[in-house]
Amino acid sequence: MTDYCTTAQVKTALDISESDWDTEIAAIITKESAVIDNRLSVYTSTPLTSTPQLIQDICIELCRCEFRFRRAPDTDALNVLRALKKETLNDLQDYITTNYLSEAAVVIAEDRDDYDTLESNK
């Protein structure tokens, strides 16, 4: 298992510097890297041997969302974080589409309404 980002990168994205959160952030990184590997493994060998910048950015954003999700004060905040996470997972799907899928699948994946259908047919 390869982590696609570092604790320092996630802490920078969260704008925190204290080390109190390092263990939790490291666990979140491992979890979100596994989510990325799970989605990529349908199309390529995982873990990736080198980490593209976009995959690193996606991992950082997924980790940031998960960390904030655990501390969300109310339903509105949770809904905003869910939307951000979905957008980030759409970015991952766009990466997969661009790098691994045929032209026919690209047309389907571009239509966000069909995204869930594409995911469920894997």
Residue 111 lies in a domain: yes
Q: What is the pTM of this model?
A: 0.81
Number of domains, the chain: 1
Q: Which domain holds residue 111?
A: 7-120
Low-confidence ranges of the chain (pLDDT < 70): 102-122
Give me the pLDDT at residue 102, please: 65
Q: What is d(CA 21, CA 103) in angstroms, rounded to the nearest whole number?
A: 43
88-109 CB burial, b ≥16 within 10 A, e <16: bbebbbbbbbeeebeeeeeeeb
Residue 2 lies in a domain: no
Residue 1 lies in a domain: no
Give me the pLDDT at residue 22, please: 97
The H or E element containing residue 7 is helix 7-14
Residue 93 lies in a domain: yes
Residue 37 lies in a domain: yes
